[in-house]
Structure 1
């Protein structure tokens, strides 16, 4: 496993982080979840990403139990706040009330005294940004988090938040964004803005919901049993847009490129993301421990320029460069990664 500073901060993270968005108790048994965490540790992964909303708050509990007994100082734990975690009017958003209550709830579920990075899961237009940043500053100043981050904010929102963070003397060091060889939306504005501010990118869904593993390209519409294409979970809506003949045909063209390099298609796709400027880490999940063991190799791969160019040429016609307007938390189709 390789390691890198998170943005321009002093925090060092593993190049691959283990995320339990779809791997908590709602998606499978906790025994498997714990086995995946152990596989991540065995592969040298020290960075773990979760959120209070995952599996209706049970994701944090599952991760905390799986990490019990592991030296806390040797881990980097990231969690998030924003999405609804209860039925009340104040059980969502980035108000001072929700942030203060949410960090305490996250720490209780994780069984930890602090997290390393506390992330605003989305931007909250209904709360003054000053209120949000002041509440996050209290979280840092009281020792409940060392750093703060944001997720899926626009370049302007990141710049405004970063300016307030500097005034409040707290380190905003990370932006978590959907980013893969198929989804390159952040490249136009967000990644350049973060590079200027010293904010590191944490890429989520670097395998495009599993499409870039190649398993769907070879399935010809007969999706693998137990895959996200056949499961009714939080990933199915995001995945649907990738399961077209044109996309799958193009993804299939990655297979010979990977084979020539002695890699799996998934390893090639992960290595591509890790080669992108500004990316500090990429978040991977798994339904089986051996997937983590296999994919962890990507952190050590050096891709030559011709291999990177071949990936881009294979996928060029189906790359998404511009995102649709984001849905809000009242939209039934809204999902958080």
Structure 2
């Protein structure tokens, strides 16, 4: 396993990490979740990603029970939660980024995870109804209280993150350290264009999600629509409509040929492609089967095969490389 600094912080995160979205407490049984965490931990993974909104809080409950049972050295792993969507109930003040919900949401997440603190706490989405100033103050206080060690954002715009940084700097507050954006061969603008000034000026780290575009870049949809796959889930219709289109399937089939030429799987090629970006601190893997996770944890072996020529060929196939103007 390779370990990378989380931006300019001193925290070292495994280049590959394990996420629980759609799986823990929902798609898989608890014993499978435990098996996956065992495989990941033994494979050198030290970061486990979670959120209050995953399976209405059940994902954190499952992960918390596993961590309690394993009794791994607390300094050997990193756990995150993300606050915004709430858990089971969605009453006023149970969602969003108000100081009230950030404090209570974090407290409840810690109870579900059975932890004294989380290493990373994210503002899961921007909140148009709460001033960024209020959110930054609250996150600063959460870190100062010891309930979280680092704070960051997920799916915020570069402008919103810059506003948070400027306010934190002006008031001598703890700034956001990391952002969790979607990033893959088909979805690149934020990481490769919009966030460039964030990397240059603030040293932001990234914990990227959906490296395989919710399974599309695994090739499983090339000839059929698997009923047990993520796109078959009712709450992912928005994602299915955006990604599962004929033009993308055509691209994936051409990418499959590159993977075969490199004697690897398309899934590992997609993960390795993300790892090539020096601004990626860690790639969050999702898995529902042990064999799937074991295979994808070897994706680091593929990175040296991605020469400039191979990367250019991928760019030509996907047609998604942004035209970068910022130096």
With the length of structure 1 as denominator, give the TM-score of the two structures. Answer: 0.89
Q: Which residue of 2 aligns with 1:88?
A: 91
Distance 1:212 1:236 in 2: 18
Match runs of 1:53-92 below 5 Å: 53-68=53-68, 69-85=71-87, 86-92=89-95
- Matched residues in 1 for 2:121 and 2:267: separation? 29
Q: Which residue matches 2:44?
A: 44
The offset of 1:239, in angstroms, is: 2.8
Residue 114 in 1 paired to residue 110 in 2? no
User: Which residue in 2 is equivalent to 1:35?
Assistant: 35
Given the alignment of the two structures, is residue 228 of structure 1 paired with residue 230 of structure 2, yes or no? yes
Instruction: State the Cα distance separating 1:152 from its structure 2 match.
Output: 0.9
| 1:149 is aligned to 2:158 | no
Change (3 A) 1:261 1:175: same
Work out whether 1:310 is the aligned partner of 2:321. Answer: no
Moved more, 76-85 or 234-243: 234-243
CA displacement at 1:8 relative to structure 2: 0.6
Correspondence for 1:325 = none
SS of equivalent to 2:126? coil
1:128 to 1:230, Cα distance in 2 relative to 1, 3 A: closer
Within 5 Å, give how 1:168-187 maps onto structure 2.
168-186=172-190, 187=192
CA distance in 2, matches of 1:280, 1:188: 17
Structure-to-structure mapping, 1:94-133, within 5 angstroms: 94-133=97-136
Runs of 4+ in structure 1 deviating by more than 4 angstroms, as ranges, are none
Aligned-pair RMSD on alpha carbons? 1.7
Contact 1:175–1:201 (8 Å) recurs in 2: yes
Cα pair 2:86 2:105 within 8 Å, conserved: no
State the secondary structure of the residue aligned to 2:17: strand
Q: Is 2:207 the counterpart of 1:206?
A: no
1:197 shift after superposition? 1.0
User: Partner residue of 1:275?
Assistant: 276
Moved more, 82-91 or 46-55: 82-91
Moved more, 234-243 or 194-203: 234-243
Residue pairs, 1:184-199, within 5 angstroms: 184-186=188-190, 187-199=192-204
Q: What is the distance in 2 between the residues matched to 1:255 and 1:204?
A: 21
Q: Which structure has more helix as a fraction of its residues?
A: 2
Residue in 1 that maps onto 2:21: 21
Q: Which residue of 2 aligns with 1:264?
A: 265
TM-score (norm 2): 0.92
The SS at the match of 1:180 is: coil
The CA distance in 2 between the partners of 1:299 and 1:160, in whole Å, is 35
8 Å CA contact 2:63, 2:113 repeated in 1: yes
Give the aligned partner of residue 331 of structure 1: none
CA distance in 2, matches of 1:257, 1:39: 28
Aligned to 1:6: 6
Deviates more, 1:236-245 or 1:10-19: 236-245
Could you tell me how far apart the structure 2 residues matched to 1:276 and 1:193 are?
A: 15
Look up the match of 2:143: 140
Give unpaired runs (5+ residues) of structure 2.
none
Question: CA offsets per residue over residues 47-95 of structure 1, 9 Å max, x none?
Answer: 1111001000111111112222121110111110011332321101111
User: How many positions carry a matched residue from both structures?
Assistant: 316
| C-alpha distance in structure 2 between counterparts of 1:248 and 1:155, whole Å | 30
Correspondence for 1:295: 296
Distance (whole Å) between structure 2 residues aligned to residue 152 and residue 125 of structure 1:
13
Query: Deviation at 1:207?
Result: 0.6
Shift of 1:320: 8.7
C-alpha distance 195-263 of structure 1, shift in aligned 2 (>3 A): farther
> How much does 1:137 deviate?
1.0
